[in-house]
Structure 1
Amino acid sequence: MPYKDGAALSSVYAAAREAGYGFFASNVTQLDILVGLLRGADRVGADAVFQVSRESAAFYGDGDPAVGLDAFGAYLERFAERTDVGVFCNVDHVRLPDQRDFLDTVVGTGVASSVMVDASDRPFEENVDLVSEAVERVRESERETLVEAELGRVAGTESGVETAAEDAFYTDPEQAVEFVERTGVDLLAISVGTQHGVASGVDLDVRPDVAQEVDDALREAGHDIPLVVHGASGLSDEQIASFLDAGVPKFNKNTRYQYEYARTAADFYHEHDDAVRPPEGAADDRGSMFSGAEWSPDKTYFHPHVVGGEVRDRLADVMADLAEVTGCAGESLYAER
């Protein structure tokens, strides 16, 4: 079914928190990744949240993020119509104050079910002021859109912005309550020791107990607000389960999908290298498509749709598995039962 607005997404998160399951909110950096993930979510009956950053929107729009965001939204909506699950779009990491214009674009297009605004690299008071202003701008939209913001610092690189490990810090529960009350955000991303990007060789001190303390503090203050963990690609299944128990229904995942895309394509072309590249000694005559050579490439393997299909199949399996890990498989609020 077509993707939904923030009110519907809020209901999905509320149901997940009540039942103790969650979602991997999936960043989409290439459209074959989107098709594969959506196919996998539909296969197992899981509602799905797809994310696009300004950088990815600019890629889709050949340098123009407004064009790219509009194109991504249209693509997502048409493909969502073919599914039997709820499909949502989150615009990820809109940096404040530098990307205020892009936030206006997000509001203007009506593409987003939610938007994550990020001033977490600023001091607390400036973070509060910038996010509060952003919330007001989003609330002016006719389309109901949830607002997510971040308190704390997550190490690693996200959307070209790097945070060194020594500059990362855990979210303080008391500050979290104050932040939510003063900004009016709908979701809160917290720092719990995860890292954006590849975490190989890094000894992550992941703290589900911090998430539990933040959730407890918010509930005691009367705020039933979903928590978000960024940098979830490196988490184990056991850590995911601990975060679910602590009230976290949304986990951002990006790097895993990028790797699966590259690995699937690399394995495919490595296996069929002799069908794509000429053998040693043969003229590399691409201009005439090897019309006068003894060797010629095999379109069975070099057509982009072939490797694209392999990527889609792989990502569908990945999403189906991840939905089982977070428990959202079979829990769609929209699938016919």
Structure 2
Amino acid sequence: MTATGTISLRECYDRAREGRYGFFASNVTHFDILVGLLQGSATADSDLVVQLGYDEAVFFGGGDPAVGVQVFGACLETLAERYGVAAYCNIDHVHVPDNFDFLEAAVESGVPDSVMVDASSEPFEQNVELTAEAVERVGDDVLVEAELGRIAGIEGSTETPDDEAFYTDPADAVEFVERTGCDLLAVSIGTQHGVASGRDLDVRPDLAVEINDALADAGLDTPLVVHGASGVADERIEELLDAGVCKFNKNTRYQYEYARTAADFYHEHADAIRPPEGVADDRAGFFADSDWEPQKTHFHPHVVSEAVRDRIADVMADLCELTGSAGESVYVER
């Protein structure tokens, strides 16, 4: 779905690796988050990689994930042009073999520039087999990201955390890429899906270096990806960029910023929205028989949405500075 006048996502990643910068690939769970991400990227003059998982596709499609991909794609393309941002879409964590139908529907929609195929919970041989099948099904026009190793924590809307994490072995990484033909490799180096504050994350940039070097020595030019980046310190991000990582997945941070901004806003303006003690909560009659009335300037949905968008935009602009993508946009106006 690359916008006219911009380079492909593959070329964008190649350019980033040569320039030693990267991207926070940002999951979009709500329309206001998408707008905020675009605003922030435009402010930073950065390209943008957004991600849509199966659960988000179901949400945007009113229960139909295939429809959700189409709706999201139309919004992304139109708004990216509006903000002057080269925006790319990755379909995130397509668990195979269960979701092969969703994978094919997403690719056929023409929306994604890449898809992330996840069989990492399977034994090595099964992961190789399923990923290779996905690469064949997807074809050459869409990049395929795969995962080797296991990342602890809660991914997406999964309710049960995976407490086990398995670090990616460099030799296995080489064999995996050679046998599957995947374009990007998500590696397990100690990060964690979900909320990671208060936990002692043993993030190992040195392992990322070993994996990157092993791939290069085998003649494989495969960008590395780190999932679960919401809890990783800035200095670790910088070290991982030097280690050959060009894509960091971030989701939980935006969800928290959305909820926190809305919660703070409604807490501050609660007296303008909820009736005081002694006033009947007459929603149906809209408080016609009361001297008190709610204030539309505070309960109109656009008001809190604007606050959320502005907050997400500020966060995104800062993240672009952190990964070095600020000022590197390849966008060319139609």
Q: Please say if residues 194 and 205 of structure 1, whose CA atoms lie closer than 8 Å, have aligned partners that are also in contact.
A: yes
Unaligned stretches of 5+ residues in structure 1:
none
> Shift of residue 200 of structure 1?
2.1
Structure 2: runs of 5+ lacking an equivalent = none
Q: Is the 8 A contact 1:156 1:163 kept in 2?
A: yes
CA distance in 2, matches of 1:41, 1:6: 15
Corresponding residue of 2:324: 327
Query: What is the CA-CA distance between 1:5 and the residue it aligns to?
Result: 11
Partner of 1:263: 260
> Secondary structure in 1 aligned to 2:83?
coil
Partner amino acid, structure 2, of 1:235: V
Q: Percent identity?
A: 64
Structure 1 residue 160: Cα displacement: 3.8
Normalised by the length of structure 1, the TM-score is 0.95
* 8 Å contact kept, 1:2–1:80: no
**Among residues 193, 198, 201, which one is paired with 1:201 in the alignment?**
198
CA distance in 2 between counterparts of 1:164 and 1:207 reads 19
Aligned to 2:153: 156
Compute the displacement of 1:6 (Å).
11
1:183 to 1:145, Cα distance in 2 relative to 1, 3 A: same
Match of 2:82, SS?
coil
SS of equivalent to 1:82:
helix
Task: Give the 3-state SS of the residue equivalent to 2:154 in structure 1.
Answer: strand
Q: How many residues are paired up?
A: 332
Q: Which residue of 1 aligns with 2:247?
A: 250
**Shift of the alpha carbon at 1:123?**
0.2
Shift in Å at residue 62 of structure 1? Answer: 1.4
How many Å apart are 1:331 and its aligned residue? Answer: 0.7
Q: What is aligned with 2:282?
A: 285
Distance 1:6 1:157 in 2: 35
Is 2:117–2:144's contact at 8 Å kept on the other side of the alignment?
Answer: yes
For residues 271 and 57 of structure 2, the distance between their equivalents in structure 1, rounded to whole angstroms, comes to 35
2-side partners of 1:134 and 1:7: how far apart? Answer: 24
Tell me by how many angstroms 1:110 deviates: 1.0
Deviations 1:123-155 (A, max 9, x none): 000000000000111007xxx110000000000
TM-score using structure 2 length? 0.96
Equivalent residue for 2:298, pick from 301, 313, 325: 301
State the Cα distance separating 1:85 from its structure 2 match: 2.8
Contact 2:2 2:113 in 1 (8 A): no
The Cα of 1:83 is off from its aligned counterpart by 2.7
Q: Deviations over 1:191-230 (max 9, x none)?
A: 0100000012221111111110000000000011110000
Corresponding position: 1:63 with 2:75 = no
- Give distance in 2, aligned partners of 1:13 and 1:91: 16
Code of the aligned partner of 2:187: I
- Structure 2 contact 57–69 (Cα < 8 Å) conserved: yes
Runs (4+) off by over 6 Å: 4-7
The within-5 A match list for 1:1-337 is: 3=3, 8-139=8-139, 144-161=141-158, 162-165=160-163, 167-334=164-331
CA contact (8 A) 1:80 1:87 kept: yes
Paired AA for residue 332 in structure 1: S
